[in-house]
Structure 1
């Protein structure tokens, strides 16, 4: 009959096993943390066209003008019609409010949320929202049309970024999702 050795090699195997289990648990934890950490990174840096949230514009208005176009996309299968706001051109730093119109095309209440970004992506860090329908879930009554306001401004610091000197228009895009 063969005997099982319980020498120094066995202790090393246990340490290796514990180390591998620890690494697996750590990687699992990172996978759950990845989405919130990426979201926080995008909000801080404006990466991927993520806009900023602000209370007001304390930097003032500058003479350079910027056009802002508005866009709306609706996820497939959502019975919603959205009319984006019209293009606006204002001096950079001007606080402006625009309105999207959304219509529920069904006889049932509709719950929706909207994700957003701006293009060019590099302008996201300069695009500030003070108030936005996208901050909360929207409930639209059957066959109802609602106004969805967005109050925003473009940070005057954009003008100091030499890579953005040729930019004349920013597009704010929303994608509406079923919630």
Structure 2
């Protein structure tokens, strides 16, 4: 009888451990986002810029654009230009090109990063293809816009920023059955 009781307690403890582990895993994503936003790490930016700013025409900031593919991503992916000279407070746009040269439909997700990381909070994306998954059919090519504002509160000694994207193949996680997005957004 004591052996059956001890097995029952063990099963209850293991089930409780599974529930706690699931809850912890579920809470990791929002905790990570809060931590990154608070500490300004991992290039998290002010994605939803609500303010309206006056353009500072007396100041210029160079924004460089870099793109790369994750190891298994076969697409061609690049910005239309390597850099833009912008005025803080102005709305700017850069187009990124994606082309699926394979013979199968694929789904991709772009992950942005800003460097230097400590000034990422001054970079506000108002529209970005990284907000949605991109589905391209074989041979399809699209131009995807990113619209952004460099905040007027960017420290005066900061003269350049780099916006980098890494493109990931997520076809296995999100099969391209339906076209999710055709032109970014």
Q: 3-state SS of the aligned residue for 2:89? A: coil
Give the corresponding residue for 1:10.
none
Q: Which runs of 5+ in 1 are unaligned?
A: 5-13, 160-164
Deviation at 1:43, TM superposition (A): 3.6
Q: 1:64 aligns with which of 59, 67, 78?
A: 59
Deviation track 1:112-133 (CA, whole Å, cap 9, x = no partner) reads 0011110000111110011011
Q: Distance in 1 between matches of 2:17 and 2:104?
A: 48
How many residues align? The count is 159
- Judged with a 3 Å threshold, the aligned counterparts in structure 2 of structure 1 residues 35 and 173 are, in CA distance, closer, same or farther, namely same
Higher helix proportion = 1
Deviation at 1:41, TM superposition (A): 3.0
Query: Which among 53, 61, 74 is matched to residue 69 of structure 2?
Result: 74
Residue from 87, 91, 100 that aligns with 1:95? 91
Taking structure 1 as the reference length, the TM-score comes to: 0.77
Distance 1:109 1:82 in 2: 16
1:85 shift after superposition: 3.4
Q: Which is worse superposed, 148-157 or 30-39? A: 30-39
1:170 partnered with 2:177: no
Regions of 4+ moved over 4 Å: 21-28
Asked if structure 2 preserves the Cα contact closer than 8 Å seen for 1:103 and 1:143, the reply is yes
Distance 2:39 2:117 in 1: 11
**Per the alignment, in what secondary structure is the counterpart of residue 121 of structure 2?**
helix
User: Aligned pair in 2 of structure 1 residues 59, 24: CA closer, same or farther (>3 Å)?
Assistant: same
Q: Deviations over 1:135-174 (max 9, x none)?
A: 0000112111110110001111113xxxxx3221100011
Matched, 1:133 2:129: yes
Task: Mark the structure with the bigger radius of gyration.
Answer: 1
TM-score by length of structure 2 reads 0.75
The answer for the alignment partner of 2:28 in structure 1 is 34
Give the root-mean-square deviation of aligned CA atoms: 2.5
Within the alignment, does 1:48 sit opposite 2:42 as a pair? Answer: yes
Equivalent-residue separation in structure 1 for 2:31 and 2:115 (angstroms): 22
* Partner of residue 102 from structure 2, selected from 106, 111, 119: 106
Q: Which residue of 2 aligns with 1:9?
A: none
